[in-house]
Amino acid sequence: MKPRMSQRIQFSLAYLLVAVIVLSFLQSWLLAPRTIEIPMSKFFELLKADEVEKVAVTEREIRGIAKPGALPSPPSAPGDRLRKLLGSEEETRVFVTTRIPLVDDQQLINELRAHNVEFAGRIETTFWKDLLFGWVIPLAVMVAIWMFLMRRVGGGPTQALSFGRSKHKIFDRKELKTTFADVAGVDEAKAELVEIVDFLKNPRKYQRLGGRIPKGVLLVGPPGTGKTLLARAVAGEADVPFFTLSGSEFVEMFVGVGAARVRDLFEQAKDKAPCIIFIDELDAIGKSRAGASGFVGGHDEREQTLNQLLAEMDGFDSSKGVIIMAATNRPEVLDQALLRPGRFDRQVVVDKPDIRGREAILRLHARAVVLAPNVELGVIAARTPGFAGADLANIVNEAALLAARKEKNAVEMSDFEEAIDRMVAGLEKKSRVLSEKERDIVAHHEMGHAFVAATVAHADPVHKVTIIPRGIAALGMTYQLPTEDRFLLTRSEIEDRIAVLLGGRVAEELVYGEVSTGAHNDLERASELARLMVTKYGMSERIGLATYGERTPLFLKGSGFGGERDYSEATARTIDEEVRAILDRTHDRVRGLLTTKKSALVAAATELKRVETLEGEPLRRLLNGDAAGTNASRRAPLP
């Protein structure tokens, strides 16, 4: 309680000082009587005309009050509006004039007596009016504001105003409805976390043999894979309070605020043990401190917050049932002190789901959606390789919205297809009108991709081809439907992928004899695959098994600065030549494949221009238009 009382006293003293300054300002500038300065000659004119009521005479000036209407109106001032608001606005009758040194005091007194002017060393003011409007009312307003701030920010009239209080959200046992039944597609991670639930429910089961309950569990994985959902499910299964906040909520502009919030968080968690503390985006405060003394620079507030977190994790006893869970998608930038045993003892990888996991996630989210009989969630799962759980949930929701917009009674397969297209390529650009020549080029380009994918041995089957513009720059799309998730690729499979990417460019060359700018993204992706073959995968005879890239020093990791190249100029030239050779060989191969199918390609492009979208059996018939050539070239090796 002593630190909080100290902060309250400090705030009160600071507030009192500011209030006194403000009140003095109001009293001296805004609420003081208006004064007009006149020359000495004007003063004598007013005196001879009996327009002066009383004066105060000093060595340097004469200050007095004139009769109503004797003085001209002064120019407007900032305090006029406030005077009017407070009811103190009145005619200006106070004047001041600078005395001429040669004026005899006795002669001046005689003149004042002759005109019955009251004179003295000072002028009496209305004390009670000045006290009321200058001090009592403003002071009451200041006290009311002070009490309001103490209640709102401090949490109550008897609590201190503290910026070091944690901003976490706490969910008690009644509010947590999430369990492992609400999580799908991450079975391995769930299996790891089941043990954490058992720790919280039956701690003595593990302590009887001398075991120690883990203090921290770090969930590592790409965004949208369900790390926060898993943490909530652990708390729901264990039936314990759940403290949650983001790492960025610890860091403030003032040094020490984040550390104070860490202390407050752990104090509250110990009082509610057993419980779970969940820190999302741990890298916001847990970045490596290795570069703090280098040219990259450091951040004192973040480092003090991290130091306090490390100290708190060392200082509490996990046997009381307080377990810290954290999530990050950038484990490589975390400080090594966080990852050592005794702090985050366990790291649970929450990866993107495979095809079976995606189907399970879709079934989970589709429970609240009315599905039509033609919906095949397995096909949707196959069409979404690389999608995280959040992406799949968005697809189900988007499909439901599309069906409701069309006033359907159930969500159909076409709605899911449209939702996937929106996720992958963006919204349809119906307002983007292409010329006839551009539509012709796009149709031949997309059919070039489709024919190559249907011809080479290791390409995924073509699912749909469209020339409807989508997104920012996509004038057409060729969709391939993977039959299974692939985690390893052979050299021939990568070469076939490059061949499919070059199919659109080669189709333009064959049909028009020239090329357009529409293949720039295809060329970029093909070049990247070829460069990876040479520099990372050891698939070049000239380069060999060595890998090349950039070395990033430890203190630069996570800073946004690149490393230094770890190969010479001669090696760089060889890498460029090998990349160029792979692309040239694949280009020649694709040109040979499409030359034998040119007539079928042109016929398919004409049909695509007419219907704008081809899929299913009509697309397969068009791609199989040259059956003899297809069978003869399907296993053609790369020269």
Residues taking part in catalysis: 446
Compute the distance between CA of residue 52 and CA of residue 595 in angstroms, rounded to an integer. 113
Amino acid at 618: P
Compute the distance between CA of residue 274 and CA of residue 237 in angstroms, rounded to an integer. 13
In contact, 91 and 138? CB cutoff 8 Å: no
In contact, 609 and 466? CB cutoff 8 Å: no
Cα dihedral value 535, 541, 546, 548, nearest 10: -20
In contact, 43 and 97? CB cutoff 8 Å: yes
Token match 């970029």: residue?
524
If you ran DSSP here, which 8-state letter would residue 352 be given? P
DSSP labels for 577-591?
HHHHHHHHHHHHHHH
Q: Which helix (H) or strand (E) holds 323?
A: strand 322-328
Cis peptide before 33 (omega within 30 of 0): no
Compute the distance between CA of residue 462 and CA of residue 619 in angstroms, rounded to an integer. 9
Could you tell me the CA-to-CA distances from 325 to 196, 348, 479 in Å, in that order? 10, 10, 40
SS (H, E, C) 9-64: HHHHHHHHHHHHHHHHHHHHHHCCCCEEECCHHHHHHHHHCCCEEEEEECCCEEEE
Phi/psi for 278 (5° steps) reads -115, 120
Amino acid at 542: R
In contact, 67 and 132? CB cutoff 8 Å: no
